[in-house]
């Protein structure tokens, strides 16, 4: 079983405020074993993408059944454990409609993983680049709405 930073069982639902917000809920801690099980041992068919910081896999948490995106960070470019945990704490306190929420993390041994909410419609890159021939590009109005939303998310981060 994973525990949140408060020591409560991860199977519990997060506390929700009167307005429906889950702000100020600490990130859950997960074991590497839990996240390996969620991603079928990081199988290639679960791979959603990769970038400069590592690989992202689709997974399902056994404890709750929640579908998540698990980012396995590249161990070569890792900061120290203290810096990683400070970053996790900061990310867990940031909530905005235009930002993907951090659910939890794993810091087992030298493994560093971040667990985010899964975005079923894919990434922005999926909708802007390398579209299949049968898919229409996003229209200008939609692109402007996306740009405005991204700007609002960046403004929120900048002001924090």
Q: Is 71 annotated as a binding residue?
A: yes
Intra-chain end-to-end CA distance of the chain, in Å: 33
With contact defined as beta carbons under 8 Å apart, do 115 and 105 qualify? yes
Strand runs labelled E in 27-145: 28-29, 47-51, 54-60, 67-73, 102-106, 113-117
SS3 71: strand
Which residues are part of a known binding site? 71
Which residues are part of a known binding site for ATP? 71
């Amino acid at each position: 079983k994973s525990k949140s930073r408060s020591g409560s069982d991860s199977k519990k639902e997060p506390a929700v405020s009167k307005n429906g917000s889950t702000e100020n809920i600490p990130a859950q801690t997960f074991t590497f074993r839990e996240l390996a099980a969620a991603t079928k041992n990081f199988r290639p068919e679960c791979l959603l993408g990769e970038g400069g910081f590592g690989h992202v896999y689709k997974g399902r948490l056994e404890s709750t059944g929640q579908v998540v995106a698990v980012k396995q960070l590249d161990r070569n470019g890792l900061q120290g454990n203290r810096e990683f945990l400070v970053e996790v704490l900061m990310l867990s306190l940031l909530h905005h409609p235009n930002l993907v929420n951090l659910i939890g993390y794993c810091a087992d041994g030298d493994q560093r993983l971040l667990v985010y909410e899964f975005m079923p419609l894919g990434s922005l890159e999926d909708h802007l680049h390398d579209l299949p021939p049968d898919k229409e590009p996003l229209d200008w109005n939609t692109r402007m709405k996306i740009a405005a939303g991204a700007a609002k998310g960046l403004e929120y981060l900048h002001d924090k």
